Amino acid sequence: MRGLVDPVAFIHDLDWDALPTRIQAQARRCLLDTVGVAFSGSQTELSRIIYAHVREAYAGQGSRLWLNGTEVSKPGAALAHGMTVDALDMHDGHPVTKGHAGAAVVPALFAALSPRGETGVSGRELLTALAVGYEVALRAGIALHATSPDYHSSGAWNALGCAAACSRLWGLNCDQTRHALGIAEYHGPRSQMMRCIDHPTMLKDGSGWRAMTGVSAAMLARSGFTGAPALTVDGDAVREIWSTLGNAWEMDNLYFKPHAICRWAQPAVEGLLQVQAKHCISPQNMFRIDVRTFHHGVCLSGRTPENTEQAQYSLEYPLAAAAYAGRLGPSELCAEVLGEERVCALAARIHVVEDPEMSARFPQERRARVQVTTSDGHLFDSGLVQARWDAEDPPSDQELGEKFRSVVHGVVPGRRAAELERLVGRCAELDEVNALLRILTAEEGH
């Protein structure tokens, strides 16, 4: 790929064998992790509402809903699945963009496939299109952050990756693909991310709407609809960002999430769990917990969340829940368990302050320091801690597999989960991805 820097040429000319082995592996890992989070996210009220909405507002043909099988339009499926992934803040992310590509790209990829199991798409082609979508989305995100003063959600840029992946799978020509990118950029919402942090709701990070936008953009461009140039791709001010395309890979910089909360809260969770494990401190013996972290982490304040959205974008309550459970999975933050008296009591004893030095290092570094004062007056200090599973210390395939099995447990039977994990693991060997598509869309519980 050396010397290939034109984004449209990259979209269409990238070959599986040209991908570095580590990026081939990363594509498989991202696919498994995102699908697992989607299956778990399907249990949320957010997903229930969006599935019902899509069946009503986006009925039609072209794709099928995961864990359901209902046939709907391609944009509708992308919307439903993107919002379902986003419902559970446990999918992969990218520190520089402060956001997520896969939550939109993976749903868009599967929306692009035929719903009847006659895709004609190989596993290699699916994974290559996934890598294309990630790289285009992430560089568009970097470009947006470099040229816009506001902090926009992932939904402000990841539709370009969706449009790129669909353009490749559908065989659009170069002119059509440029129009698809332009349509996706122009019609994508530039929503302010901190509004969602300050007021956590089901809006989340905007990835569902952007998946729908990206799929729609490629469909329109294929039909001859034209769009203005995508400034985050073709603008003079961002040329340097795209100059290493095909030689350096933003997928190398992804992190994965061990906990079902905003990444900004995860360093504090790690710090508390480390102190607790090292010194055998029970939650009942925690008199006071002091957390120092960066500014955006401090913004995640919330001791008494009323729903899972508020819980995932808070810090004190998840921290207290982790102290009691020893982990922080979906079950610790589901609506049915929120408000547990002992957890709320511990959350009230947590005090969070900003550390200016940590703020200065954000977003490249996200750190926290946790101090636990016990009822008998002893003080235990975590030191500086960062979240697990970042690019410098990624999870092993075994750890990601364990996470996948944990989050899908109870959603689908074990044999189905095992088959899905097996198919993704050998995706590059599949002549067609029909079996993978069928297992995704079979009804829940089968």
What integer pLDDT is reported at residue 1 of this predicted model? 46
Predicted TM-score of the model (pTM): 0.95
| Burial class of 117 by CB neighbour count within 10 A (0 to 12, 13 to 18, 19+) | middle
Spatial CB neighbours of 354, under 8 Å, sequence gap ≥ 6: 292, 293, 294, 295, 298
- Is residue 93 within 8 Å of residue 103, measured between CB atoms? no
Q: Which of 218, 208, 210, 17 is nearest to 112 (CA)?
A: 218
Q: How far apart are CA 310 and CA 161, in angstroms?
A: 28
Place of tokens 């952050």: 145
Q: Tell me the CA end-to-end span of the chain in Å, nearest whole number.
A: 43
Per-position pLDDT tens, the chain of length 446: 444 479 999 999 999 999 999 999 999 999 999 999 999 999 999 999 999 999 999 999 999 999 999 999 999 999 999 999 999 999 999 999 999 999 999 999 999 997 765 568 999 999 999 999 999 999 999 999 999 888 888 989 999 999 999 999 999 999 999 999 999 999 977 788 778 788 888 889 999 999 999 999 999 999 999 999 999 999 999 999 999 999 999 999 999 999 999 999 999 999 999 999 999 999 999 999 999 999 999 999 878 999 999 999 999 999 999 999 999 999 999 888 898 999 999 999 999 999 999 999 998 899 999 999 999 999 999 999 999 999 999 999 999 999 999 999 999 999 999 999 999 999 999 999 999 999 999 987 66
- Is residue 69 within 8 Å of residue 115, measured between CB atoms? no
Per DSSP, what are the bridge partners of residue 409?
A: 412
Q: How far apart are CA 2 and CA 299, in angstroms?
A: 42
